[in-house]
Structure 1
Amino acid sequence: MSAALSVLRHLLYRPWLLAILAATASAILLLMASVGVAMHQIQQSEIEQMNAKGERFLVRLEQIFGQLREGVDQLQAQPLRGCDANMLAALQQVGFSYRFVYEAAYVDGTIACSNRIGERTINPLRPADIQGPTYSYWLNTTTEPDDNLAALMLGRGKFLVATSRGHLTDVVDLPPEGSLLVVLDNGARAVPVLGPPQVWPPSTDWPPASNDSLLELSDRLIYRMPTKSPDYQLVLIAPRASLPLKMNGILWLLFPGSLVLAWCIGWLVLQLVRQRRSMSSELQGALRRGELQVLYQPIFELTSRRCVGAEALVRWRRPDGTLTSPDLFIPLAENTGQIRQITDFVLQRVLEQLGQLLRANRQLYISVNLAACDVMVPRIGRVAARLLALHHVAASQIAFEVTERGLIDVVVARDNLQALRAVGHQVLIDDFGTGYCSLAYLQTLPVDCLKIDKAFIDALGHDAASSGVAPHIIRMAHALQLRVIAEGIEYEDQALLLNSEGVNYGQGWLFAHPLNARQFIELITRGRRLGPRRIDDEA
């Protein structure tokens, strides 16, 4: 953990290096994301194109098969047989009547005639690929690269009708190495109608368990098309890499856009690091010039309204009179390690300002907040011992407040807190209920008091979901024999309700705003409660 913080501090003082690292990391991540989006877009494009091709092929094939059946039925129904002029006229009439019938023929042994007079007459030399009760089907009757040669042929009786390859390819051009197959024999055999033969079956687990029409393999897309006939199924296969891919125009902007965004992130990191380094330098100067001030938030006994102590608060007043919020410079100081100097400064200033008051009022105590880095190491005990000996103040009059979030390693924190208690310091858990300190850990920690966060005090008497948290914390503290201090009390009814719940101590603007040392001494010596006043009225 300390090594990581050391590296972070090292980078904070090299803003250009940190900016370059941030820009490079952002560019890599954004480019990877862009590539991922592009690949997903490509895959979606492949799937959409395949679906579109399959649907168009299916519509065309249904039209072709329908016309082939009608044409051969018309020829079979007429009484003419033989190859006279009337037969030729009938064959030509079928060819003219049906758009997808390229050739119609009569074949009876050695007698054959076709509507394509003077051209090659179809005459299949092999058995039909599909032999149905009424029709016979021949698939891919030739492999010659001629769109006018038959790709599908249908026969009934002595009549044959065929469509040309061009009637299929004019719908959608197959990609290179793509094929339209007719699957026969319950999936055992596939005959290419268009395109080259394909390895069949296409995968070891064919047929797949899924009923999806589109199947995605690593190198191919397979589109299964249902047909009205149980004897065959149509399958369109296309290699993934060969599909014509279209990338959206916005997608092309992702790549330069990623680089521009990465540059912007690097520039933003540079500005933030410079700002933090600048504030860090200013904070170091503030410590050196004495711009930090310590104010005291009095803690009162709710029954008697007697002040029993105070919480030391650090404030940064700049030379122009403006106050910098602790929410800004305390986290920065924790990250840069300057929080140790601030804690030492607060301890020293408390004892310098209130040493005489504390020696005169042995029951009075001041609590100082500890950061996580001081909870996890025993350093602060040595610093406090030296200052207490110098000002002759008892250790019991300096309490230390730690937050639940500061207990990074409960075992180590327990040992260090126990060492502080062993010499007489009180230990308080600040903002209890907002962190992650479980009851099991709390039972083992050397703690004297719990401070309930203002958010739970504000919820008292309301229907808010957290209105029951404060009473629960109070009961738990009593069960563990711990004192309870309620923070942020602003109204009298809150003080009365808390007192009735068994809370003995409280702090908040109902009793007093944070006071400077002179005001706090006046409060104790005169034994009265100051009215509400702004932090910056006399600080």
Structure 2
Amino acid sequence: MPALLTPLRQIFDRPWLLAVLAAVVSAGLLLAASLGLAVQQMNRDESAQMNAQGERFRERLEQVFGELRQGVDTLQAQTLRGCDAAMKTALQEVGLRSRFIYEAAYVDGTQACSNRGGERVIQPQRAADIQGPTYRYWLNTSAEPNDNLAALMLGRGPFLVSTSRGHLTDVVDLPPGGSLLVLLDHGSRAVPVLGPAQQWPPSADWPPRSHNALLEMPDKLIYRMPTRSPDYQLVLIAPRANPPLRLDGPLWLLFPVSLVLACCIGWLTLQWIERRRSMRSALQQALRRGELQVLYQPIFELASRRCVGAEALVRWRRHDGSLTSPDLFIPMAENTGQIRQITDFVLQRVLEQLGHVLRANRQLYVSVNLAACDVMAPRIGLVAARLLARHRVSATQIAFEVTERGLIDVVVARDNLQALRASGHPVLIDDFGTGYCSLSYLQTLPVDCLKIDKAFIDALGHDAASSGVAPYIIRMAHSLHLRVIAEGIECEAQALLLSSEGVNYGQGWLFAQPLSAQQFIALITRSRAMPAGNP
């Protein structure tokens, strides 16, 4: 396994290679997304076109059926019967007045005549496809490729009217491979009026639950057209086209923009890696040069306002005087593993600077923050034991603070924290309420004190949703027999309210800002009397 990891480390240690890889991957993703958008737009356009076409079909077919019904109603209403000259004239007038009636005929058992003169008189060769109370419908009466043959025929009494294929194709622009179907028998049977026969039903789960007029299927589009007659339905079916991808309008910009964005991502990745490498190297040099310094945030007992200890804070002041925020270099140090060196440095510096003060004030303590890597391993206990023996300081005077977010594996963390506590070190949970440490876990952890995050302290006395969190944490801590430290106290009202709620200790700018070792020693010197007990 290590043999495999070595080449990978070598690859990922090359900023340009990582930048190119990030650019290629992002280009692929962006281009795929652009292509997906283009295809989606094409499908939307196809559906919109089919929707509009189906609506035109419905309107025109209603006109065709309406004129056929009107024509046969006119013939049925007259008193003429037979095939005399008056009948032929009446048939011709009906054909001339209608745009869609190709042939009007009178057919009884003995004679037949048509407005077409001596041409073939339409006569149905089978029973009507639709036998309504008033009208009879014949659909697709002949399969012969002749535009003059009837595509739709309507009958009432002895009269027949029909529209030819030629008339019908003039009013409906059928898409390639599409078909106009008439659905009979409550949709169970489909008769093609125009176009080839289609599989019916089109899917195993037909009819669909959707009531939309346009149904989109993977291989076809189906447009259902409501009609005024309950005897039939009209359906337009067209296969889904696979046209070449066309990037109309602003879509053509997606691909060049994707490539530009991919290049930008690659460049930003390179800058980020170089910056991290630069900061990692700078932090390593800062450790060697002594640019890191430890400040001390005093912790006071709220009841007596006496200093009982301090929290050690690491700060990075570069050689040019600029200050690098811990929020920037601490997470980076945790990711690179340098946080162990920083923790060891803080421990060593605390004991070097305050060892004599701690020996002289056995009830004074300093807390040191632990990263997740030290919470999940027993290393820090060994380091602390060695340094404490060298400086002759009690383990009870060095407390360790862990955050809820650092408790990645509660079981492992519990064992390691228990080992620290068994050695005499107090254990504090820092920023409590901002992580994911449940009450059931908290009950099993070897903890001496909870530190309430500043955000909940700031909400005290306000109508914010989090204003009740701090009192809840205080009551919970008391039920578990834990001490409480409130962080970020900035005004007297907060201190009084927290004290009335039973909070033991507090820290914040109300009492003191982070102090250097000399300033902290001066503070302790001014107040020699230490309160009984410590976290």
Q: TM-score higher than 0.5 here?
A: yes
Quick check: 1:224 aligned with 2:213?
no
Q: Cα distance, 1:81 vs. partner? A: 5.0
CA offsets per residue over residues 214-240 of structure 1, 9 Å max, x none?
444442333332322233222222222
Equivalent residue number for residue 426 of structure 1: 426
Letter in 1 for 2:310: A
Equivalent residue number for residue 203 of structure 2: 203
Quick check: 1:468 aligned with 2:468?
yes
Letter in 1 for 2:372: A
Equivalent residue number for residue 281 of structure 1: 281
Return 21-30 or 425-434, whichever deviates more: 21-30
Equivalent residue number for residue 70 of structure 1: 70
CA distance in structure 2 between the partners assigned to 1:7 and 1:482 by the alignment: 50
CA distance in structure 2 between the partners assigned to 1:446 and 1:200 by the alignment: 72
Percentage of matched positions with identical amino acids: 79
Equivalent residue number for residue 194 of structure 2: 194
Mark the CA change 1:472 to 1:337 in structure 2 (over 3 Å): closer, same or farther.
same
CA distance in structure 2 between the partners assigned to 1:275 and 1:507 by the alignment: 35
CA distance in structure 2 between the partners assigned to 1:234 and 1:379 by the alignment: 80
Mark the CA change 1:44 to 1:141 in structure 2 (over 3 Å): closer, same or farther.
same
Return 224-233 or 71-80, whichever deviates more: 71-80
CA distance in structure 1 between the partners assigned to 2:137 and 2:438 by the alignment: 79
Return 133-142 or 284-293, whichever deviates more: 133-142
Equivalent residue number for residue 533 of structure 1: none
Equivalent residue number for residue 347 of structure 1: 347
CA distance in structure 1 between the partners assigned to 2:163 and 2:242 by the alignment: 27
- The 5 A counterparts of 1:144-223 are 144-208=144-208, 211-223=211-223
Equivalent residue number for residue 261 of structure 2: 261
Contact 1:46/1:243 (<8 A) preserved? no
CA distance in structure 2 between the partners assigned to 1:243 and 1:24 by the alignment: 29
Mark the CA change 1:168 to 1:249 in structure 2 (over 3 Å): closer, same or farther.
farther
CA distance in structure 1 between the partners assigned to 2:8 and 2:495 by the alignment: 45
Letter in 2 for 1:388: L
Q: Cα distance, 1:316 vs. partner? A: 0.8
CA distance in structure 2 between the partners assigned to 1:433 and 1:211 by the alignment: 51
SS of the equivalent of 2:472 reads helix
Contact 1:100/1:163 (<8 A) preserved? yes
Equivalent residue number for residue 490 of structure 2: 490
Letter in 2 for 1:159: F
Q: Cα distance, 1:381 vs. partner? A: 1.1
Q: Cα distance, 1:333 vs. partner? A: 0.8
Q: Cα distance, 1:176 vs. partner? A: 2.6
SS of the equivalent of 1:16 reads helix
| TM-score, with structure 1 as normaliser | 0.88
CA offsets per residue over residues 335-355 of structure 1, 9 Å max, x none?
111111111111111111122
Equivalent residue number for residue 510 of structure 1: 510
CA offsets per residue over residues 419-470 of structure 1, 9 Å max, x none?
1122221111111122111222122111122212222222223333323322
CA distance in structure 2 between the partners assigned to 1:491 and 1:201 by the alignment: 77
Equivalent residue number for residue 13 of structure 1: 13
CA distance in structure 2 between the partners assigned to 1:411 and 1:430 by the alignment: 18
CA offsets per residue over residues 115-153 of structure 1, 9 Å max, x none?
345755434434433344443322222334444432112
Equivalent residue number for residue 522 of structure 1: 522
Letter in 2 for 1:402: V
Return 37-46 or 391-400, whichever deviates more: 37-46
Contact 1:175/1:243 (<8 A) preserved? no
Equivalent residue number for residue 534 of structure 1: none
Letter in 1 for 2:275: Q
Mark the CA change 1:184 to 1:521 in structure 2 (over 3 Å): closer, same or farther.
closer
Mark the CA change 1:247 to 1:366 in structure 2 (over 3 Å): closer, same or farther.
same
Contact 2:60/2:172 (<8 A) preserved? no
Contact 1:108/1:158 (<8 A) preserved? yes
- The 5 A counterparts of 1:19-418 are 19-80=19-80, 86-107=86-107, 112-117=112-117, 120-208=120-208, 211-241=211-241, 249-418=249-418
SS of the equivalent of 1:160 reads strand
Contact 1:12/1:277 (<8 A) preserved? no
Q: Cα distance, 1:193 vs. partner? A: 0.7
Contact 2:148/2:166 (<8 A) preserved? yes
Return 48-57 or 202-211, whichever deviates more: 202-211
SS of the equivalent of 1:187 reads coil
CA distance in structure 2 between the partners assigned to 1:188 and 1:343 by the alignment: 79
Equivalent residue number for residue 532 of structure 1: none
CA distance in structure 1 between the partners assigned to 2:35 and 2:181 by the alignment: 34
Letter in 1 for 2:470: A
Contact 1:13/1:277 (<8 A) preserved? no
Letter in 2 for 1:69: R
Contact 1:26/1:262 (<8 A) preserved? yes
CA distance in structure 2 between the partners assigned to 1:344 and 1:26 by the alignment: 40
Q: Which runs of 5+ in 1 are unaligned?
A: 530-539
Mark the CA change 1:120 to 1:15 in structure 2 (over 3 Å): closer, same or farther.
farther
Q: Which runs of 5+ in 2 are unaligned?
A: 530-535
Q: Cα distance, 1:187 vs. partner? A: 3.4
Equivalent residue number for residue 535 of structure 1: none
Mark the CA change 1:449 to 1:127 in structure 2 (over 3 Å): closer, same or farther.
closer
Contact 1:12/1:273 (<8 A) preserved? no
CA distance in structure 2 between the partners assigned to 1:473 and 1:231 by the alignment: 73
CA distance in structure 2 between the partners assigned to 1:337 and 1:10 by the alignment: 18
CA distance in structure 1 between the partners assigned to 2:213 and 2:109 by the alignment: 43
Mark the CA change 1:292 to 1:169 in structure 2 (over 3 Å): closer, same or farther.
same
SS of the equivalent of 1:236 reads strand
CA offsets per residue over residues 218-269 of structure 1, 9 Å max, x none?
4233333232223322222222247999875334443443343333323222
CA distance in structure 1 between the partners assigned to 2:458 and 2:211 by the alignment: 61
CA offsets per residue over residues 156-180 of structure 1, 9 Å max, x none?
3443322122333234422232111
Return 73-82 or 512-521, whichever deviates more: 73-82
Mark the CA change 1:321 to 1:116 in structure 2 (over 3 Å): closer, same or farther.
same
CA distance in structure 2 between the partners assigned to 1:125 and 1:49 by the alignment: 38
CA distance in structure 1 between the partners assigned to 2:331 and 2:13 by the alignment: 17
Q: How many residues align?
A: 526
Q: Cα distance, 1:360 vs. partner? A: 2.1
Letter in 2 for 1:168: L
Equivalent residue number for residue 435 of structure 1: 435
CA distance in structure 2 between the partners assigned to 1:433 and 1:207 by the alignment: 55
Q: Cα distance, 1:327 vs. partner? A: 0.9
| TM-score, with structure 2 as normaliser | 0.89
